Amino acid sequence: MKMTFRWYGENDSISLEKIRQIPNMYSVVTAVYDVPVGEVWPQENIDRLKTLCEEKGLKMEVIESVPVHEDIKLGLPTRDKYIAAYQENIRRLGKAGVKCICYNFMPVFDWTRTQLDKVGFDGSNSLVYYADQIAKMNPLDGSLSLPGWDSSYKKEDLKKLFEQYANVNEEKLFENLEYFLKAIIPVAEEAGINMAIHPDDPPWPIFGLPRIITNEKNIDRFLRLVDSPNNGLTFCVGSLGADKNNDMVAMVRKYAKMGRIHFMHIRNIKLTENGFEETAHDQKYGSMDIIGIIQALAEEGFDGYCRPDHGRMIWGETGKPGYGLFDRALGACYINGVWETCVANLKK
Ligand SMILES: [Mn+2]
């Protein structure tokens, strides 16, 4: 397992020097952030990021994300030009030595939470999702701004998108995903890149928009759409685990055995009657069987990438919600410790 850490490029308040000092750190997870969705990333921007990382002793083998243009998810006639740009991005990233690309296929909204700074029992704060708060929200009334949402959407743009998605149910979204995969996976194979879809977060429909990468049945279907090892998963524990019907340890074991997990996002959440709260990574603070998951990975000989996912804000740190240095670094250390113990026990 190769440990990685998300880095938001040169504007990130967390420096590569600091990331480098987290024990066992191998690669950053980053992206070109200043190019609009659907356009080709300039090779020099990609190469510059790689050089910056390598100067600090880190690899740049994982990209999160190359975002998918809405026209592709909607299946509009204009999708082909955006798919051509996506293919070119895969080729260019392959040239730069990237091995894994994380992306998602969630309509309009990326990960969704209702509060970013819920104070926990120990005075730290973290992101939470409460169903009763979501029920009161209307994304079309123009008053809403939540993390993971593209704040550049104007009220009218959002209204139009919602109208377009009125014709897209789960079946249609699967069809559009299949069309996209059939175009990009052969390019990824040639470029030596593993594509790793991120599950929907949370794994259920939001605001009436369909979501499909949500459970074992749908992931099985996704993997069959293009049955190539390069068509794989970012297995995000905190996303899939928000649905208590997902048997996380069994799913990790199954997909790791198939060689289809390329990237692990490991974090813990505490399930409540009303949703979930992000917690410290350690087993005892949340509802996820983090140790069981890591043990399954070790037993299956997992050699892909892993990153601590969102962290809490601790020790007075401020910054991008979920992406502070301190708690994610603690998360990496916890994962390292459990992993090393599991691997050592296997050798006994
Ligand atoms: Mn994730």
- Residue 306 confidence (pLDDT): 98
Q: What are phi and psi of 23, to 5 degrees?
A: -55, 140
pLDDT range class, residue 143, cuts 50, 70, 90: low
Query: Considering Cα of 53, then 327, then 112, then 179, what sign does the dihedral take?
Result: positive
- Residue 113 confidence (pLDDT): 87
From the CA of 238, how far away is ligand 1's center (Å)? 7
User: Please, what CATH class does the domain formed by 2-133+166-347 belong to?
Assistant: alpha beta
Beta strands in 76-177 (DSSP E): 100-104, 115-119, 125-130
From the CA of 264, how far away is ligand 1's center (Å)? 8
Instruction: Please say if the pLDDT value at position 103 is more than 90.
Output: yes
From the CA of 347, how far away is ligand 1's center (Å)? 30
Query: Considering Cα of 276, then 280, then 283, then 289, what sign does the dihedral take?
Result: positive
Instruction: Please say if the pLDDT value at position 312 is more than 80.
Output: yes
- Residue 46 confidence (pLDDT): 98
- Residue 275 confidence (pLDDT): 95
pTM of the model: 0.95
- Residue 9 confidence (pLDDT): 94
Instruction: Please say if the pLDDT value at position 96 is more than 90.
Output: yes
From the CA of 187, how far away is ligand 1's center (Å)? 25
- Crossing angle of helices 170-191/216-225, nearest 10°? 50
From the CA of 337, how far away is ligand 1's center (Å)? 21
Give the strands of the sheet with 269-272, arranged side by side: 115-119, 125-130, 275-278, 269-272
Beta-carbon contacts of 319 under 8 Å, excluding residues fewer than 6 positions away, are 13, 14, 313, 325
From the CA of 77, how far away is ligand 1's center (Å)? 30
CB 99 within 8 A of CB 106: no
- The set of catalytic residues is 198, 236, 265, 309-310, 323
From the CA of 282, how far away is ligand 1's center (Å)? 17
In tens, the pLDDT along 9-62 reads: 999 999 999 999 999 999 999 999 999 999 999 999 999 999 999 999 999 999
Instruction: Please say if the pLDDT value at position 211 is more than 60.
Output: yes
Sequence ranges of the domains in the chain: 2-133+166-347
Share of the chain above pLDDT 70, in %: 97
Ion ligand 1, residues whose Cβ is below 5 A away: 236, 265, 309
In tens, the pLDDT along 149-207 reads: 555 667 778 888 899 999 899 999 999 999 999 999 999 999 999 999 999 999 998 88
